[in-house]
Amino acid sequence: MQRTTVLRMVLVLAAVFAIAGCGSKYDDVEAVLDTEIDVMSTFIDDMKSAGSADDVAAAIGTYAEGMEKLVPQLKEITRTYPNLKNGDDIPDDLKAKMDRIEELIGQFPGTMMKATGFMTNPKVQKAWEGFGQVMAAMGEAS
């Protein structure tokens, strides 16, 4: 009898560890969203602290480079998980990350205002061109 109880406990513990060790169905999505949040947050912080055209151009360039790396992953997520694009059956942890991204997007207009004083600078203009290309690619990804 004791042997059966011990065996059951071992099996239950093994199942608990197996379940705990398994990742979420959306681990890949979470990783991409975390990176996107980091890239966006860095851009906002860099733009807030920018004091020159070079700083603005660097912030825009860093953001564009970071987002450009995410475009293929975002395309794959859209293809693999169409329910996320439709807003269907989104787990709470992903919803929280998506909400955070929306919050950051809401900060962009104010952040972009910082760049208006430097718009005639050739470095800033070139950075905006790269930014525009990445935004177009992201639009295709969604």
Residue 7 maps to a domain = no
pLDDT tens per residue, range 2-45: 433 333 333 333 333 333 334 678 899 999 999 999 999 999 99
Check residue 48 and give its pLDDT. 93
Residue 41 maps to a domain = yes
Q: Is pTM beyond 0.85 here?
A: no
| Number of domains making up the chain | 1
Residue 80 maps to a domain = yes
Residue 19 maps to a domain = no
**What single string gives the DSSP state of each residue in 2-45?**
HHHHHHHHHHHHHHHHHHHHS--TTHHHHHHHHHHHHHHHHHHH
Q: Of 44-58, 85-99, 123-137, where does mean pLDDT reach its minimum? A: 85-99
Residue 9 maps to a domain = no
Residue 45 maps to a domain = yes
Residue 116 maps to a domain = yes
* Residue 92 lies in domain: 24-141
